[in-house]
Amino acid sequence: MPAYTLRINGASRQVDVDGETRLLWVLRDILNLTGTKFGCGIAQCGACTVHLDGAAVRACTTRVAQVGTREVTTIEGLAPGGDHPLQTAWIAEDVPQCGYCQSGQLMAAAALLAKTPKPSDGEIDTAMAGNICRCGTYDRIRRAIHRAAGEG
Amino acid sequence: MATTRPMERRDFLKLGAVAGGGLFLLIYAPDSAAGGEAALSPNAFLRIDPSGAVTITVARSDMGQGVRTALPMIVAEELDADWDRVHITQADAHPDRYGRMMTVGSTSVRNGAWLPLRNAGAAAREMLVAAAAAQWGVSASTLRTERGRVRHDASGRSAGYGELADAAAALPIPAAPTLKDPARFTLIGTSPLQLDARDKVTGRAAYGIDARPPGLLFATVVHPPVFGSRVKSFDATKARAVTGVRSVVQISTGVAVVAEHTWAAFQGARALAITYENDGFAMSSADIFRSLAALAESPGVEAKRVGDVQAAMAGASARVEATYEAPYLAHATMEPMNCTADVRPDRVELWAPTQNPQGAQQLAARLAGVPLDRTVVHVQLMGCGWGRRSSTDFVQDAVETSKAVGAPVQVVWTREEDMQHDFYRPAAHVRLTGGLSADGTLVAATVRVAAQAISGGRNGVDSNAVASVADTPYAIPNYLVEYCRATNEVPVGYWRSVGPSQNTFIFESFIDELAAKAGARPGRLQARAAGQRAAHAPGAEPRRRAIGLGLVAPGRPRARRGPGRGQGRARGRGGRGVARARAHPRAQGDPRGRLRADHPPAHRRGTDVRLGRRRPHGGAVRGDHDRERARAAGQLQQLPHAAHGRDARGRRPRDPEPCRAGGRG
């Protein structure tokens, strides 16, 4: 069984799994990074969104063998101390309800702001379109992204 | 809010011993959710440490409705606590310590906590004040409290609650502490930061699926794809060959694949070859709707009767008939069904995302064959609930699997299993007739609902099926509601509000149809029908009464109208929500159009404490993202247009979505 060395949240982690294993379950079940959530398993809900070299990807469909040398960032590694401008804005706007989708929402939003520091409503809607929130917090998510962009 | 109802004033408090000092109150309260019976049941803990930290034990489950913040707010308000020093602990399941822990129906504040928790906070505050008065040799009436301190303004002295906690704990507990005048509330009515908001934005919040006891194995269960079927036999050769799979075991609900991680378990499950008993079942949604329609041909059980419908209908100058159908709906919680269990010969430990901690505890104890007091159930946060997690089927999966393999196991269902093995909102076929007088007044109406029953109900009427029609806000002088009980194999259960989620739309749409027939504006007909309920508002204009009933918004600008735009208001049972939606014709020639909410509908949270901001209650209707995304989450059906209206000539916009009752997709 091939062993994979992954760069996750700035640290090097070795995992001994089949290369087909999806990154989501390596993070959650092997490395105990449970902030990344399982929602659908088929890249339709966005709950498992993480960054590969800063780009938002769905961990539930990303094979561990595909990761290579790219840096994996999860919600736990978004900012030391949990004080990323988006996390601060999320709290200021009281975004989460049940909160289950919010790790994925935050990672999608962080990837957006990294490329588009001052996104329009339309750009936010487009970038966030793959992240479902069953509580319907979309309006507050949009406000929080604007707030973080304003402070960024 | 009445504060002196005798029943609720019998709450009392009990002092408990606590290691390390401090004030510790076990709060007893009559469990009004149990029907106002005389039995007293404790329902919360309040602890003030010498450090000044206030810890409140929350004995209801949080699935996004905010009860982990709302309940502490009630205590903190009366206590005059420093909100920044308030912490929560989630209560493990207990048969009677906290009263009824079932968290359903938006009742946590209304039925369980409001007065008991206010009394608890007020009693603790009086004890702290009494302790300070004794220490300083002043009258308690000269002291005041704010933000976790007792102050004596005349001398400038003050002491933190933590400093006074030990002395306060030695004092008698006031039997009937003085409650604040709600006009003086400073916390209730505001939206403070949720106590677990930071955990939710940093990934630290622990949902059911995040439980990680040492030595945990990961599993999934394949359930028979046909309702009512059972596993006959299975071949696990290929499943066991999947890297990471440890074992495959049959349990009473299906076949469990246990592995080193969930991905391996999912792959193992796909590789299983299972044969089932009774798998010849074949029923389509169309079959079910046909059977419901046939059932509705005959009169059902009376759920409500007012006046003489037959005579009034015969005398009406115009009649409108309509049939509406509503489909089965899955809950589709963001977090798929899961549960973690560690079953040992002499004890059981569960980590369960459950709305029903006591039911989970009882089931686990019975299945594992251990006493209730050796069955520990940790109640986890939930990624949505909506009634789905009041069932304990997923708990059974975890307990049986852990017992079978002798190790702690987390069972996670695939999304496909989650959608396929729900307790669905029952499909419904609803027939309505309305009679209008010459001046356009609704003088008679009949409603006949054909649907499966969720509960037994009184006189054979499932109250869920007829909710919002049997208890309509309108005063229709001649009115008949009937219920026709359907039976089939599809599992049904509590889905959000159940009846009001569809019947409000159906009935209000029917009002619109009546208004069109009468040549009146729907709001006008609504107001007039509401105004007929004049007994408690004599002399008031119909519109004013309609405002009182929540049917017309006061002081709100009228929405712009025009082709493709409109605004509707409706009131369901409980009056907890008003939704506004806007229809967007997608393109010429597309009859389906598109419906979008202008803003998330103003469903007030079930917790009436947080009135400072209105927000969707646990995920009412989506905001303004597009329909395809809604469909991906199985949520689209929550939009009112998904009930299929059909007019008297049998036309309807489209047929119901096919849903396969059997067969794996």
CB within 8 Å: A37 and B207: yes
Residues of chain A with pLDDT under 70: 1-2, 151-152
Cα–Cα distance measured from residue B470 to residue B314, given in angstroms and rounded to the nearest whole number: 22
Most confidently modeled of B24-28, B87-91, B456-460? B87-91
Q: Which residues pair with B44 in a beta bridge?
A: B27
Query: B435 with B313: CB under 8 angstroms?
Result: yes
Q: Which residues pair with B274 in a beta bridge?
A: B234
Task: State the number of CA atoms in the 13 A half-sphere of A66 facing the CB.
Answer: 14
Cα–Cα distance measured from residue B83 to residue B187, given in angstroms and rounded to the nearest whole number: 9
Q: How many residues are given for chain A?
A: 152
CB within 8 Å: A98 and B212: no
B-interface mutation test, from A23, A29, A63, A90, most B Cβ less than 10 A away: A29
Cα–Cα distance measured from residue A80 to residue B249, given in angstroms and rounded to the nearest whole number: 43
Our CA-based measurement puts residue A118 at a distance from the nearest CA of chain B, in whole angstroms, of 20
Q: Order of strands, edge to edge, in the sheet holding B428-436?
A: B301-306, B478-486, B442-452, B428-436, B318-326, B644-647
Q: Which of A1, A21, A139 sits opposite B623 (nearest CB)?
A: A139
DSSP B427: P
Closest CA to B44 of B23, B24, B18: B24
pLDDT of residue B36: 35
Both tokens of residue A119?
Answer: 């996104």
Our CA-based measurement puts residue B618 at a distance from the nearest CA of chain A, in whole angstroms, of 5
Task: State the number of CA atoms in the 13 A half-sphere of B652 facing the CB.
Answer: 15
* Element containing residue A58 per DSSP (H, E): strand A55-58
pLDDT of residue B584: 40
Whether chain B has a CB inside 8 Å of the CB on A30: the answer is: yes
Above 90 in pLDDT, residue B520? no
pLDDT tier at B217, thresholds 50, 70, 90: very high
Q: Could you please report the per-residue DSSP string of B249-289?
A: EEETTEEEEEESSHHHHHHHHHT-EEEEETTT----HHHHH
Both tokens of residue B592?
Answer: 């389906």
Closest CA to B397 of B646, B186, B579, B222: B222
Q: Is B69 helix (H, G, I), strand (E, B) or coil?
A: helix
Q: For chain B, first and last CA: distance in Å? A: 52
Q: In Å, how far from its chain's centre is CA A9?
A: 12
Q: Is B359 helix (H, G, I), strand (E, B) or coil?
A: helix
Closest CA to B256 of B284, B295, B221, B228: B221
- The chain-wide mean pLDDT, for chain B, equals 79
Contacts 24+ apart (CB under 8 A), B95-99: B95/B358, B95/B361, B95/B372, B96/B41, B96/B42, B97/B41, B97/B42, B97/B59, B98/B41, B98/B42, B98/B43, B98/B44, B98/B57, B98/B59, B99/B29, B99/B31, B99/B33, B99/B34, B99/B41, B99/B42, B99/B43, B99/B59
pLDDT of residue B404: 98
Above 70 in pLDDT, residue B288? yes
Domain pair B8-202 / B285-328+426-647, same fold: yes
When pLDDT is averaged across residues B264-270 and rounded to a whole number, the result is: 98
pLDDT of residue B200: 98
Q: Which of A45, A129, A139 sits opposite B599 (nearest CB)?
A: A139
pLDDT of residue B641: 27
Cβ contacts of B118 within 8 Å, gap of 6 or more: B3, B74, B75, B77, B78, B179, B180
Residue B7 neighbours by CB distance under 10 Å? 11
DSSP B168: H
Percentage above 90 pLDDT, chain B: 56
Query: B366 with B373: CB under 8 angstroms?
Result: no
Contact map slice: B 225-244 vs A, CB within 8 A: 243-244
Contact map slice: A 55-114 vs B, CB within 8 A: 74-76, 82, 87, 90-91, 94-103, 106
Query: B80 with B125: CB under 8 angstroms?
Result: yes
Distances (CA, A) of B105 to B38, B108, B109, B159: 22, 8, 11, 42
Q: Could you tell me which residue, B524 or B52, shows the higher pLDDT?
A: B52
pLDDT of residue B616: 33
Give the position of tokens 């010429």: B588
Closest CA to B547 of B520, B571, B513: B571
Closest CA to B625 of A146, A102, A48, A136: A136
Q: Which of B193, B206, B267 sits opposite A91 (nearest CB)?
A: B193
pLDDT of residue B562: 57
Cα–Cα distance measured from residue B21 to residue B584, given in angstroms and rounded to the nearest whole number: 63
Domain spans in chain B, listed from the N-terminal domain onward = 8-202, 208-279+332-417, 285-328+426-647
Q: Is B414 helix (H, G, I), strand (E, B) or coil?
A: coil
Q: Which of B25-29, B53-57, B371-375 has the lowest mean pLDDT?
A: B25-29
* Element containing residue B148 per DSSP (H, E): none
pLDDT of residue B527: 62
pLDDT of residue B567: 52
* Domains, chain A, ordered by start: 3-77 (3.10.20.30), 80-151 (1.10.150.120)
Above 60 in pLDDT, residue B85? yes
Both tokens of residue B416?
Answer: 């496909």
* pLDDT digits 0-9 by tens, B330-346: 999 999 999 999 999 99
Query: A33 with A76: CB under 8 angstroms?
Result: yes
Q: How many residues are given for chain B?
A: 665
Whether chain B has a CB inside 8 Å of the CB on A133: the answer is: yes
- Complex prediction ipTM: 0.98
CB within 8 Å: A132 and B334: yes
3-state secondary structure B599-632: CCCCCCCCCCCCCCCCCCCCCCCCCCCCHHHHHH
Cα–Cα distance measured from residue B592 to residue B128, given in angstroms and rounded to the nearest whole number: 64
Cα–Cα distance measured from residue B185 to residue B609, given in angstroms and rounded to the nearest whole number: 11
DSSP A124: H
The domain at B285-328+426-647 falls in which architecture? Answer: 2-Layer Sandwich (3.30)
pLDDT of residue B651: 33
B-interface mutation test, from A134, A138, A142, most B Cβ less than 10 A away: A134
Cβ contacts of B344 within 8 Å, gap of 6 or more: none
pLDDT of residue B6: 32
* pLDDT digits 0-9 by tens, B549-603: 555 554 444 545 555 555 555 555 444 443 444 444 344 444 444 444 443 333 3
For the domain B8-202, what is the CATH code? 3.30.365.10
pLDDT tier at B12, thresholds 50, 70, 90: very low
Q: What's the CATH fold of domain B208-279+332-417?
A: Aldehyde Oxidoreductase; domain 4 (3.30.365)
Cα–Cα distance measured from residue B612 to residue B192, given in angstroms and rounded to the nearest whole number: 9
Q: Could you tell me which residue, B91 or B472, shows the higher pLDDT?
A: B91
Cα–Cα distance measured from residue B127 to residue B177, given in angstroms and rounded to the nearest whole number: 10
Q: Could you tell me which residue, B322 or B27, shows the higher pLDDT?
A: B322
Q: Which of A1-5, B26-30, B312-316 has the lowest mean pLDDT?
A: B26-30
Burial class (CB in 10 A: 0-12, 13-18, 19+), B536: exposed
CB within 8 Å: B243 and A1: yes
Cα–Cα distance measured from residue B27 to residue A147, given in angstroms and rounded to the nearest whole number: 42
Give the position of tokens 């889905």: B495
